């Protein structure tokens, strides 16, 4: 009897003194997209025929809206359901208060944006009806441009999985991109994807773009540089980026210890094409489709999506870039499927004013085929 009681007592003691179960590790913090660029007050006027000097023409169509490529990309993100943050210089002027309220109503984070008392950036956009042409007069103030020090002081790299740059000041943005690249080298497990929006082919711009992962070329580049199609655009950008990167690397001091690279062989691809650390270059035109040049110089194209009736040409490039980033970042599509999704989103944008029409956009590519 004593032995049985002792055994039961010992068993109870063992049960009472079991070590507590370890708590599960906390979930990783959610990372979202950061868009760096400008926010402007757009005054859009629609005319029937081109204006000539000294002519007075009246119109009944026009609107005032929040604009700027970076600001528009954030709006498209929210319409598609992607968390994002905008980083740019904003104004405290009373005329700009409605734009700040619109940011907050859409759920776009602007808590890290520096504020200024200068006049807000604004643009006058004259659009000709039934013609794919427009005239833009933009007010430029150097105080409204984001600096490298403001970027470093506002950005916490652990919070972002993707950073998109609007090409405004390539000298300052080159320093920003190099700061993000340094973080990726220190913390490869929290790597940030970089993308750049291009509207010109100046050497400083090409050097900045050569350090990104994705490069989105605007439709105006074809008309500005007299290219025939999207294939010529992406190949010209690739060549200019390689030239600018090679000149920049020649001016950099060698690393210590420095081991010179082996010369490429006669039949190697490196001698003909260079290293495969080039960004992916993407160009979209709703009339011919999206062209893409991969890092290994593989080219492919996605067909165009032309709506029956075109209402608004403004911000089509911004819609395409934002929808491709959304498809790659949130839906985890392959690159070809993401470009297909982007062309369909930009075609839907052409059918209505503003971005409210994107509320009807399916959240995946399969839904686009059945919509």
User: Could you report the per-residue pLDDT of 212-236, keeping only the tens digit for each?
Assistant: 999 999 988 888 888 989 999 999 9
pLDDT band at 17 (very low <50, low <70, confident <90, very high): low
Quick one: average pLDDT of 81-94? 91
pTM of the model: 0.86
Cβ contact 32:111 at 8 Å: no
Q: Is 123 helix (H, G, I), strand (E, B) or coil?
A: strand
Specify the pLDDT at position 140.
79
pLDDT band at 336 (very low <50, low <70, confident <90, very high): very high
> Residue 261 pLDDT > 50, yes or no?
yes
β-sheet bridge partners, residue 294: none
Fold entry, domain 30-49+60-251+273-370: 3.40.1190
| Nearest partner of 64 among 82, 45, 36, judged by Cα | 45
Task: Tokens for 236, please give them.
Answer: 């010209």
Specify the pLDDT at position 14.
52
**What does the domain layout of the chain look like in residue ranges?**
30-49+60-251+273-370
Using alpha carbons, list the distances in angstroms from residue 173 to 196, 207, 235. 10, 10, 23
Quick one: average pLDDT of 272-279? 55
Out of 85-89, 124-128, 286-290, pick the least confident.
Answer: 124-128
Quick one: average pLDDT of 66-85? 93
> Residue 54 pLDDT > 80, yes or no?
no
Quick one: average pLDDT of 44-55? 80
Specify the pLDDT at position 270.
40
Specify the pLDDT at position 271.
40
Distance of alpha carbon 259 from alpha carbon 54, whole angstroms: 66
Higher per-residue pLDDT: 204 or 273: 204
pLDDT band at 276 (very low <50, low <70, confident <90, very high): very low
Cis link prior to 257 (omega < 30° from 0)?
A: yes
Task: Tokens for 141, please give them.
Answer: 């103030």
Give start and end residues of each alpha helix (H) in the chain: 2-16, 69-80, 97-106, 148-154, 170-186, 203-209, 220-224, 230-251, 269-273, 316-329, 335-349, 365-370
Q: Tens digit of pLDDT for each residue in 89-124? A: 998 888 788 888 999 999 999 999 999 888 778 888
Quick one: average pLDDT of 251-265? 67
Distance of alpha carbon 346 from alpha carbon 369, whole angstroms: 15
């Amino acid at each position: 009897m004593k032995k049985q009681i002792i055994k039961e007592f010992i068993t109870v003691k063992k049960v009472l003194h079991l070590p507590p179960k370890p708590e599960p590790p906390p979930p990783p913090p959610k990372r979202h997209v950061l868009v760096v660029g400008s926010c402007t007050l757009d005054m859009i006027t629609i005319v029937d025929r081109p204006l000539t000097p000294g002519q007075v023409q009246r119109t009944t169509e026009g609107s005032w809206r929040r604009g700027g490529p970076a600001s528009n990309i954030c709006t498209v993100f929210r319409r598609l359901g992607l968390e994002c943050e905008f980083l740019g210089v904003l104004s405290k002027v009373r005329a700009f208060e409605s734009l700040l309220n619109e940011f907050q109503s859409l759920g776009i984070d602007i808590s890290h944006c520096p504020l200024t008392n200068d006049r807000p950036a604004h643009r006058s956009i004259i659009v000709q009806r039934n013609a794919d042409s427009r005239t833009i007069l933009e007010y430029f103030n150097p105080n409204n441009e984001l600096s490298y020090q403001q970027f470093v002081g506002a950005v916490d790299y652990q919070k972002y999985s993707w950073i998109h740059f609007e090409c405004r000041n390539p000298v300052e943005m080159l320093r920003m991109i190099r700061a993000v690249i340094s973080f990726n080298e220190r913390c490869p497990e929290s790597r940030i994807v970089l993308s750049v929006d291009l509207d010109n082919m100046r050497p400083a711009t090409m050097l900045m773009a050569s350090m990104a992962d994705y490069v989105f070329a605007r439709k105006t580049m074809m008309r500005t540089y007299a290219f025939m199609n999207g294939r010529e655009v992406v190949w010209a950008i690739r060549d200019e980026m390689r030239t600018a990167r090679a000149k920049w690397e020649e001016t950099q001091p060698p690393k210590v210890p420095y081991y010179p690279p082996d010369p490429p062989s006669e039949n190697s691809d490196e001698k003909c094409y260079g290293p495969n650390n080039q960004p992916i270059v993407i160009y979209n035109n709703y009339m011919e489709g999206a062209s893409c040049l991969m890092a290994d110089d593989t080219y492919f194209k996605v067909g165009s999506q032309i709506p029956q009736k075109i209402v608004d040409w403004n911000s089509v490039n911004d819609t395409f870039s934002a929808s491709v980033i959304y498809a790659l970042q949130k839906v985890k599509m392959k690159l070809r499927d993401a470009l297909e999704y982007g062309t369909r989103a930009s075609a839907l944008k052409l059918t209505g004013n503003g971005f409210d029409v994107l509320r009807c956009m399916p959240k995946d590519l399969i839904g686009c085929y059945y919509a």
